[in-house]
């Protein structure tokens, strides 16, 4: 791969990361707090294959529940443990 192709690939990757960040449903710091809270809940009580810890966090902090849950599902977060395994991984790679 020549230098021009490498530069274009690098620019494309940067652009894709920015698009992913722009699509975050809430601020980066809030997502970090959400993932930390869900992780603590799952670690303490396990995953019951629902979004109980995620939904609880969103409601307690008056965050846009439908918007966040939709984004989480788009990235494989259909229950609390999948929020951590899939959506949090997407967030980590995109921030």
Closest CA to 87 of 23, 52, 35, 47: 35
Write the pLDDT tens digit of every residue in 13-24. 889 889 989 999
pLDDT at 1 over 80: no
Query: pLDDT > 90: what percent of the chain?
Result: 78
Find the domain containing 56 and state its range.
3-94
Overall number of domains in the chain: 1
Mean pLDDT, the chain, whole residue set: 95
Q: Return the H-helix or E-strand segment holding 18.
A: helix 3-22
CB 53 within 8 A of CB 35: no
């Amino acid at each position: 791969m020549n230098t021009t192709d490498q530069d274009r690939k690098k620019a494309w990757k940067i652009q894709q990361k920015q698009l992913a960040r722009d699509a975050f449903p809430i601020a980066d710091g809030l997502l970090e707090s959400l993932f930390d809270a869900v992780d603590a809940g799952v670690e303490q009580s396990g995953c019951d294959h629902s979004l109980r810890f995620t939904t609880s966090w969103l409601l307690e902090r008056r965050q846009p529940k439908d918007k966040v849950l939709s984004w989480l599902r788009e990235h494989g977060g259909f229950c609390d443990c999948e929020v951590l395994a899939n959506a949090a991984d997407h967030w980590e790679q995109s921030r």
